[in-house]
Structure 1
């Protein structure tokens, strides 16, 4: 089976999400009853949107990476585990034995959960199944069992789908995305942890009254509160902190280039997301009609990459502030045992905070504090798994660069679910089986909580409709 699926998985990996997703969207649109022309146009438009988003994220990475390196050198940091970023992590995951099986496994798990009613999200973002493949590959490496790795990947998929269901109403309301959820392996677990953090922030005097949404900031600071001006100012601060003025001519050029690049990212990302949403709308409307006709009384969500949320002003502003904050946290935690130097994945912090921000109601201060706490804790996870991560990378054919001996990542290496599954794998068969049972229990508990929430919403709507008109 692996010999058959391996080349297919490798081919899909080579194509990338910007090519694979338009094909899948076109097929999905036809299944939903759209005409070929409309379905194909929607798929191509979504692909164009993803290319635009990736170009802007690439711009961020190309400008933030050198500033981060300069900042680390200026602080005299000597962290020996290199953050190779999500592109390398995805290639490592798809290149593993689990990765060869992950797409058919993911579809099977998704269909079973939908049919049984345990989850509502139909995840069409097959590319991001790589997150579950990486979890499975790590477990397989620790336990030396392909089957336990496959089981862990399947359970991880189920958990991410359940987390997406749980946060879907908040995501839909905040981002104005009806019938959409984010079953993204990076975003969904952080969103879950943001819920108790937000309750904690609500109990802290001062913080619970602070309105730090983009609208409030713009109202207070006028032009300098606009998103592009925030990008400009943050770029100047990051550049000054990173480059300093050892060589005034060269450093001032780098600082000003970084500033205008971050302003451009703040300005362009929402427009790229708008292009993606233009393609998504006919698919979303067709899905709503399809579900209402064939499954009356049931609710389904379309699972998408959280890239559709990264252009929102609070998300991108939080992410830019977290770039220097993450580096400072990494340095501060070095004496406590952190060995990871955040680099490549600094540009993908928007995906880490994408579901956290709506839970924090767009409050940038809360989002930065919450993001800093969770990313800081995640650095210890990334350090802990680094030897196994490197082992899986080499076994998948990943070539370490000169000077690299141990690698990890922030996006998935520091992820809360990575910690759970890696700890379970270290306990052997009982640990993996125990984690699987507890995870399935969590999926069921989330389903019960959602049913309770639905009943409360229905009762509230009924009570509202019975009130006499004025």
Structure 2
């Protein structure tokens, strides 16, 4: 087991831009795409991920976070729990006992679900298994039982895999990502909430007719409604609120305008490499298993972050989140390090609300309010998990938390369920099993319709 763990730790250490080309090449060869095409596809995907990371880290991360810190300093804001960001959360999760086995465990769960036809997704995004490990680590702390933590991690993954399948058609249509699903532990957790709120809005006369999307904005404002100008305008507003001088305001505006332009281009490059492999995988599976339906490649939700509505909503909500953190009763978390991941919350919310920016903002405000309360509630356990792996606490910090995954509603629900004892663990396992069985029936029905349609043609 130690040798196996070391192998997976080595693979994880190589990074997504190195391992993803290897994984895509192997999958392409397995599905008879050809050595040359598989190699090109893998390298193109790797380059796409490098481009995404450069834009997200160099432009979004280094531009937005300092602006928010300037807001905090300018208005003298202070709260007792520090947002340490997703890299720290991932390190804490993967350093836990659950984290040590999460990659082989996650691969096993995916294989079992594929064999039992309870998922349509081949999840190659093994780095983001840390979200499941994060849940498992907190459950192990609250129950003081390792195996309950492992069960919670599996339950989390099963639920996310099913939600990834269900939302995949909208991902294909709205985000222009054919053959892709997003079984991402953070992003996908918000999909059910968006579905419920979207349905509730449909019941409210007048409000249900409000529709703000990029097409409407561009028709109304012409060139001034294009993503590059929307991003630049929002960047300038954030810079002014932060108290920047003219040079800094304009630099932030150009940087956020660049984000709205470059992320979609990097995602398109990534898809250029992935589409041949996705098509080959679907053709291979459907040709041999008539009840399998369409097969999706599961990727990091970073590939969908670049949608103009997603980014515009996120830029609007960043300063609002700071305000909410200060005025919200019961909150102790000061958002900081994870502000750059706010767009990840909306990757699936945007398709679910049909790219309606108004509805996206409503959903966003609700999930951020409850997210702050969740992050506050989980802070003691996250701090304990950090101490268990000898995480270096920020100077002067008594408690830490994060937006990703500290504000994750699914993580919170599973942790609190398991805190009720074995009954709560059983409820979580039952929900995951019921969702998997329901998904199997849905997949078989979809496969039957595809098969009947093919015969009719």
TM bracket, shorter-chain basis: over 0.9
> 2:95 matched to which residue of 1?
95
SS of the counterpart of 2:82? strand
Aligned-pair CA distance for 1:445: 3.3
> 1:256 matched to which residue of 2?
250
Structure 1 position 317 matched with structure 2 position 312: yes
> 2:29 matched to which residue of 1?
30
CA spacing shift, 1:406–1:4, aligned 2, 3 Å:
farther
Aligned-pair CA distance for 1:458: 8.9
Structure 1 position 277 matched with structure 2 position 276: no
Distance 1:318 1:4 in 2: 45
Distance 2:448 2:209 in 1: 31
SS of the counterpart of 1:82? strand
Instruction: Note if contact 2:291-2:443 (Cα within 8 Å) is conserved in structure 1.
Output: no
Report Cα offsets for 1:121-179 as digits up to 9, x if no partner: 12111111111011111111221211111111111111100111111122222123333
Aligned-pair CA distance for 1:11: 2.5
Instruction: Note if contact 2:313-2:357 (Cα within 8 Å) is conserved in structure 1.
Output: yes
Distance 1:42 1:88 in 2: 32
CA spacing shift, 1:396–1:30, aligned 2, 3 Å:
farther
> 2:296 matched to which residue of 1?
301
TM-score under structure 2 normalisation? 0.94
Note the 1:167-246 alignment, pairs <5 A.
Answer: 167-243=167-243
> 2:45 matched to which residue of 1?
46
SS of the counterpart of 2:394? coil
Measured on the aligned residues, the alpha-carbon RMSD in Å equals 2.1
> 1:434 matched to which residue of 2?
427
CA spacing shift, 1:267–1:178, aligned 2, 3 Å:
closer
Query: Could you tell me which of 348, 353, 358 is aligned with 1:360?
Result: 353
Aligned-pair CA distance for 1:185: 0.6
Distance 1:99 1:227 in 2: 39
Instruction: Note if contact 1:236-1:256 (Cα within 8 Å) is conserved in structure 2.
Output: yes
Distance 2:168 2:410 in 1: 19
Distance 1:130 1:98 in 2: 9
SS of the counterpart of 2:297? strand
Q: Please, which runs of 5 or more residues in structure 2 have no aligned partner?
A: none
Instruction: Note if contact 1:98-1:133 (Cα within 8 Å) is conserved in structure 2.
Output: yes
> 2:339 matched to which residue of 1?
346
Q: Please, which runs of 5 or more residues in structure 1 have no aligned partner?
A: 245-250
Instruction: Note if contact 2:234-2:315 (Cα within 8 Å) is conserved in structure 1.
Output: yes
Aligned-pair CA distance for 1:380: 0.8
> 1:247 matched to which residue of 2?
none
Structure 1 position 287 matched with structure 2 position 281: yes
TM-score under structure 1 normalisation? 0.91
Instruction: Note if contact 1:231-1:265 (Cα within 8 Å) is conserved in structure 2.
Output: yes
Instruction: Note if contact 1:5-1:101 (Cα within 8 Å) is conserved in structure 2.
Output: no
Instruction: Note if contact 1:9-1:99 (Cα within 8 Å) is conserved in structure 2.
Output: no
- How many residues align? The count is 454
SS of the counterpart of 2:272? helix
Of the structure 1 ranges 55-64 and 439-448, higher mean CA displacement relative to structure 2 is found in 439-448
> 1:398 matched to which residue of 2?
391
Distance 1:360 1:209 in 2: 12
> 1:137 matched to which residue of 2?
137
> 1:420 matched to which residue of 2?
413
Aligned-pair CA distance for 1:297: 4.3
